[in-house]
Chains A and B, each alone.
Chain A
Amino acid sequence: DAGITQSPRHKVTETGTPVTLRCHQTENHRYMYWYRQDPGHGLRLIHYSYGVKDTDKGEVSDGYSVSRSKTEDFLLTLESATSSQTSVYFCAISEPAGGHMNTEAFFGQGTRLTVV
């Protein structure tokens, strides 16, 4: 498995509290992604990063913010958690090769977040 670590692996939090999930990689890959996985929806992209301090929105970015201050870390913050953000969150990394953008993504183990 690629060197990707997500923390925490499990978290229960209360509605209205801020939550930060961390993704740490040791592969020096340029691209990092945050997805959420919900039954019937597959994997939906929240935010992604194409370099340090370079981020962009995905399909379901409302209520989430991200930061990438160094190559190896990509943080996902829920400013004020809601029950609809209960989900499994996956971080992924990829690196363009040979000038091509067509490269595989490596996923972390996931973080199960429950908002009560």
Chain B
Amino acid sequence: GQQVMQIPQYQHVQEGEDFTTYCNSSTTLSNIQWYKQRPGGHPVFLIQLVKSGEVKKQKRLTFQFGEAKKNSSLHITATQTTDVGTYFCAGRRNNFNKFYFGSGTKLNVKP
């Protein structure tokens, strides 16, 4: 079964609106990574979170790792059409370098 749950599956927003996707794991994670996949493309690494309660920002993107290291979120402020794509979280447990991907959130931004 899915090791890491991700919601929502789809999100349609008007350009300028905010967007958030959430990931949850039933077990504690060592770290979590976030990837973006443009339509027809391959996943591209965005960021990695390691510490409990960690918050990182990349311009309009804010990433959080929960205190219990079981959940994470990605928030985009004031979406742009260039943000279109599917966002995946990938959680790693204490098992070599094997990551379990969430099912992804597909973001569509209407201009």
Instruction: Say yes or no: A94 contacts B104, CB within 8 Å.
Output: no
B69 CB within 8 Å of chain A = no
A110 CB to nearest chain B CB (Å): 6
Kindly report which residue of chain A lies nearest to residue B40, judged by CB atoms.
A110
B80 CB within 8 Å of chain A = no
Interface residues of B in 29-50 (CB under 8 A from A): 30-31, 33, 42-45, 48, 50
Interface residues of B in 1-28 (CB under 8 A from A): 2-3, 6, 9
Q: In the complex, what residues of A have CB within 8 A of residue B58's CB? A: none
What is the bound-complex CA distance between A39 and B96, given in angstroms?
27
Q: In the complex, what residues of B have CB within 8 A of residue A105's CB? A: 33, 43, 45, 90, 99
Interface residues of A in 83-116 (CB under 8 A from B): 90, 92, 94, 96, 101-110
Instruction: Say yes or no: B92 contacts A102, CB within 8 Å.
Output: yes
Instruction: Say yes or no: B98 contacts A102, CB within 8 Å.
Output: no
The residue from B30, B97, B101, B104 contacting A35, defined by CB atoms under 8 A apart:
B101
Contact with A along B71-111 (1 / 0, CB 8 A): 00000000000000000101010001111111110000000
Q: In the complex, what residues of A have CB within 8 A of residue B102's CB? A: 42
The residue from A43, A45, A107 contacting B44, defined by CB atoms under 8 A apart:
A107
Kindly report which residue of chain B lies nearest to residue A94, judged by CB atoms.
B97
Task: List 17 contacting pairs A-B, 8 Å CB cutoff, sorted by A.
Answer: A35-B101, A40-B103, A41-B2, A41-B103, A42-B103, A43-B104, A44-B101, A48-B97, A90-B42, A101-B97, A102-B48, A103-B97, A104-B48, A105-B33, A107-B44, A108-B42, A110-B42
